[in-house]
């Protein structure tokens, strides 16, 4: 294998030399005994290099490889080869991609692009009479941008590879913002401003410049205050889930509970190599396209009955492809990767914002809230929630950080998972609002601020929340609140998984199931998992609390060393079947005995 690898390196180096002297698009004859079945194809040096970097028994690639296509190819490679070979292949692609980027840096000055006159006239007509409706405005910008992209593709400009590669920006959103209209923007308080009718390339008038500056301040805020959050959150998850692994002692726990999941085009790839129940027979999912449009019954870590981890049937074959049984660490790494990429996009995104119309009535109807209690206490309108009776909301600033709770003068801006109290002690009813986006919580006339506590009392007729729209984006404050078990209205593991998945839709759902099953604990003994007693009596623990409940050794690497030592050495707090803790405790006991 080493010799074969060396030969491939020699071939790749020869091609790099040819590309450096002749250019990546220079074509020459390419023949391969397996890939092309000894047939000769005239392809570019760039495509030849890419095929050389792939395994000899992998299919012949003779098409443009953009970001989406590359992801698809790497996914197939990960399914066909062992982990060591996959690492070698992907490492080679990365190495030579960097070499190529140094030889042929991609850059483009937008001033060099001259759109066709008929397109320019359409753009001028649009800007002279822009529609008042936000969604229609954005639709027209998208249509104009698409028309320009089609012109670029048809003209064969060099910019096409940059434009359509999926790396140098979003062809519709970013290029529309540069060449058509910046559109609507969002400031640091989540106010929707605009529209900014001019594109970035055209320049702004004073009002538009001010609005663009407001959006830029929001970008700096994310850069300085938010992008570090996913790393810290992933560290907490890793500490909390470090002991979650595949149970090698049992292949199938024989659980009879399943995770019901509706499959569409977006979710289908996320369940491949999982097991589901069809007519009381457990089958491996390989053809995901055939499942689109149906609800499947997944075997899931949420309902696994294995006592020393998760059985391989409830988890699926992902761990085999990645050659690890440490699925808790794997889940934390996946959350870190997806969330960091999402947050970084928030910093760099120049395209128009995606705005969602708020409809509180529909959201409440879809929730599991008590309809009788809701109608008694709240008047739910499409864009407003009004008190029907005396209601109270208590905000503990300790539950939020400076990024998740802000004062906007007449309202607080915070994640919409809010607890409303109705009645007097001991007959208090709680309504847990289920909005996983930031809302404007209006200040009532009766408001008391006492240190870290804010007490809000609403009388009948006072507006509690009023909001027309919200910006669809990954919200780190919402994700943190969910992982830290502060969404008190969620009392079901599937609900928590779905709430997290809505925030991180690009993540394989198995990782969220792995993390969530670890958060639900037996209320009588928090060291025991609630999935083992069918969630009959549970408490949901945060990622910060779990390490101290499960493992004093693991918690020593976290935040409170004194607490960890106290739990482990003084109170003998140990996790079941933890060989590292047992080894240390045995050594400690031996030394004490001596």
pLDDT tens, residue by residue, 430-479: 888 878 788 899 999 999 999 889 999 999 999 999 988 887 766 666 77
Q: Which residue has the higher pLDDT, 321 or 268?
A: 268
In angstroms, the CA 311 to CA 304 distance is: 7
Asked if residue 6 has pLDDT above 90, the reply is no
Residue 317 burial by Cβ neighbours in a 10 Å radius (0-12, 13-18, 19+): middle
CA-CA-CA-CA torsion sign (296, 297, 302, 304): negative
Question: Can you list the positions of beta strands (E) in 187-245?
Answer: 192-196
For the record, the structure tokens of 4 come out as 């074969």
Asked if 576 contacts 585 with a C-beta cutoff of 8 angstroms, the reply is no
Can you give the pLDDT at residue 350?
47
Please, what is the angle between helix 229-241 and helix 509-519, to 10°?
Answer: 60
> Residue 259: which of 495, 487, 542 has the closest Cα?
495
- The mean pLDDT of 285-293, rounded to a whole number, is 87
Q: How many CA atoms lie within 13 A of 509 on its CB side?
A: 30
pLDDT band for position 1 (50/70/90)? Answer: very low
For the chain, helix, strand, coil in percent to 5 are 45, 15, 35
Can you give the pLDDT at residue 353?
64
Residue 323 backbone class (left: φ over 0; alpha: ψ -120 to 50; beta: rest): left
Q: How many helices (H) and strands (E) does the chain have?
A: 22, 24
Q: Is it true that the peptide bond before 426 is cis, omega within 30 degrees of 0?
A: yes
Asked if 404 contacts 414 with a C-beta cutoff of 8 angstroms, the reply is yes
Sheet of 520-522, strands arranged across: 525-529, 520-522, 538-540
In angstroms, the CA 278 to CA 429 distance is: 42
Report phi then psi at 574, rounded to 5: -130, 155
Asked if 471 contacts 186 with a C-beta cutoff of 8 angstroms, the reply is yes
In angstroms, the CA 136 to CA 132 distance is: 8
What pTM, to 2 d.p., does this model score? 0.61
Can you give the pLDDT at residue 309?
92
Q: Is it true that the peptide bond before 72 is cis, omega within 30 degrees of 0?
A: no
Collapsing DSSP to helix, strand or coil, 578 comes out as coil
In angstroms, the CA 320 to CA 82 distance is: 9
Q: Which residue has the higher pLDDT, 1 or 562?
A: 562
List pLDDT tens digits, range 183-217: 888 887 777 888 899 888 888 999 999 998 988 88
In angstroms, the CA 215 to CA 212 distance is: 5
Can you give the pLDDT at residue 116?
87
Can you give the pLDDT at residue 535?
93
pLDDT band for position 42 (50/70/90)? Answer: very high
- The mean pLDDT of 560-586, rounded to a whole number, is 50
List pLDDT tens digits, range 334-393: 888 776 666 655 554 544 566 788 999 988 887 767 788 888 999 999 999 999 999 999
Can you give the pLDDT at residue 368?
63
- The mean pLDDT of 97-101, rounded to a whole number, is 85
Can you give the pLDDT at residue 7?
66
In angstroms, the CA 92 to CA 423 distance is: 65
Collapsing DSSP to helix, strand or coil, 492 comes out as coil
List pLDDT tens digits, range 113-140: 778 889 999 999 998 999 988 888 888 9
Percent of the chain at pLDDT above 90?
28
In angstroms, the CA 295 to CA 260 distance is: 6
Can you give the pLDDT at residue 169?
53
List pLDDT tens digits, range 126-177: 989 999 888 888 889 989 988 888 887 777 665 555 555 554 556 677 778 8
pLDDT band for position 281 (50/70/90)? Answer: very high
In angstroms, the CA 71 to CA 269 distance is: 12
Q: Is it true that the peptide bond before 195 is cis, omega within 30 degrees of 0?
A: yes
Asked if residue 512 has pLDDT above 90, the reply is yes
Residue 192 backbone class (left: φ over 0; alpha: ψ -120 to 50; beta: rest): beta
Collapsing DSSP to helix, strand or coil, 411 comes out as strand
Sheet of 438-442, strands arranged across: 378-380, 384-387, 463-466, 438-442, 411-415, 406-407
Asked if 479 contacts 507 with a C-beta cutoff of 8 angstroms, the reply is no
* Cβ contacts of 398 within 8 Å, gap of 6 or more: 452
Length of the chain: 594
In angstroms, the CA 208 to CA 54 distance is: 49
Residue with tokens 């649009």: 126
Q: Which residue has the higher pLDDT, 346 or 507?
A: 507
Asked if residue 289 has pLDDT above 80, the reply is yes
Can you give the pLDDT at residue 125?
93
Q: Which residue has the higher pLDDT, 396 or 353?
A: 396
Asked if residue 294 has pLDDT above 50, the reply is yes
Residue 227 backbone class (left: φ over 0; alpha: ψ -120 to 50; beta: rest): alpha
- The mean pLDDT of 398-409, rounded to a whole number, is 78
Q: How many CB atoms lie within 10 A of CB 86?
A: 19
> Residue 257: which of 485, 493, 488 has the closest Cα?
493
């Amino acid at each position: 294998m080493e010799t074969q690898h060396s030969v491939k390196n020699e071939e790749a180096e020869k091609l790099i030399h040819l590309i450096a002297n002749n250019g990546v698009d220079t074509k020459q004859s390419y023949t391969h005994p397996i890939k092309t079945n000894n047939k000769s194809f005239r392809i570019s040096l760039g495509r030849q290099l890419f095929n050389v970097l792939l395994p000899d028994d992998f299919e012949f690639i003779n098409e443009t490889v953009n970001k989406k296509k590359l992801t698809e190819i790497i996914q197939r490679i990960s399914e066909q080869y062992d982990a060591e070979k996959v690492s070698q292949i992907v490492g080679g692609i990365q190495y030579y991609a960097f070499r190529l980027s140094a030889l042929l840096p991609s850059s483009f000055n937008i001033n060099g692009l001259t759109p066709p006159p008929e397109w320019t006239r359409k753009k001028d007509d649009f800007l002279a009479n822009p529609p008042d409706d936000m969604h229609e405005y954005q639709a027209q910008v998208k249509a104009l941008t698409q028309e320009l992209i089609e012109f670029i593709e048809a003209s064969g400009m060099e910019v096409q590879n940059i434009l359509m590669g999926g790396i140098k920006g979003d062809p519709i959103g970013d290029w529309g913002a540069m060449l058509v209209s910046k559109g609507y923007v969002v400031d640091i308080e989540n106010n929707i401003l605009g529209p900014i009718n001019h594109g970035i390339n055209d320049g702004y008038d004073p009002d538009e410049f001010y609005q663009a500056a407001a959006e830029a301040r929001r970008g700096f805020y994310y850069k300085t205050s938010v992008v570090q959050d996913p790393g810290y959150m992933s560290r907490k998850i890793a500490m909390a889930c470090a002991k979650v692994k595949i149970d090698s002692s049992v292949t199938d726990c024989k659980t009879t509970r399943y995770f019901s999941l509706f499959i569409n085009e977006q979710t289908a790839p996320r369940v491949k190599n999982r097991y589901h129940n069809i007519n009381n027979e457990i089958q491996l999912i390989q053809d995901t396209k055939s499942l689109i449009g149906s609800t499947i019954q997944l075997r899931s870590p949420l309902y696994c009955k294995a006592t020393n981890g998760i059985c391989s049937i409830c988890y699926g074959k992902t761990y085999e492809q990645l050659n690890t049984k440490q699925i808790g660490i794997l889940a934390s790494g996946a959350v870190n990767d997806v969330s960091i990429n999402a947050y970084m996009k928030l910093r760099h995104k120049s395209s128009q914002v995606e705005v969602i119309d708020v409809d509180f009535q529909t959201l409440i109807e879809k929730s599991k809230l008590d309809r009788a209690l809701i109608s008694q206490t709240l008047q739910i309108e499409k864009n407003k929630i009004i008190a029907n009776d005396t209601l109270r909301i208590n905000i503990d600033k300790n539950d939020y950080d400076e990024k998740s709770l802000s004062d906007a003068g007449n309202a607080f801006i915070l994640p919409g998972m809010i607890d409303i109290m109705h009645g007097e002690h001991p007959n208090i009813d709680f309504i847990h609002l289920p909005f996983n986006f930031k809302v404007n919580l209006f200040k009532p006339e009766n408001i008391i601020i006492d240190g870290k506590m804010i007490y809000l009392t609403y009388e009948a007729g006072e507006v509690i929340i009023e909001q027309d729209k919200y910006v669809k984006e990954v919200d780190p404050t919402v994700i943190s609140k969910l992982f830290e078990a502060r969404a008190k209205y969620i009392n079901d593991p599937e609900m928590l998984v779905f709430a997290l998945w809505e925030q991180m839709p690009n993540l394989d759902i198995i990782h969220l199931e792995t993390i969530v099953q670890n958060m639900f604990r037996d209320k009588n003994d928090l060291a025991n998992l609630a999935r083992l007693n069918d969630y009959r009596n549970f408490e949901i623990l945060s990622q910060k609390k779990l390490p101290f409940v499960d493992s004093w050794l693991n918690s020593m690497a976290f935040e409170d060393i004194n607490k960890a030592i106290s739990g482990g050495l003084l109170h003998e707090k140990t996790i079941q079947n933890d060989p590292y803790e047992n080894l240390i405790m045995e050594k400690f006991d031996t030394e004490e005995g001596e």
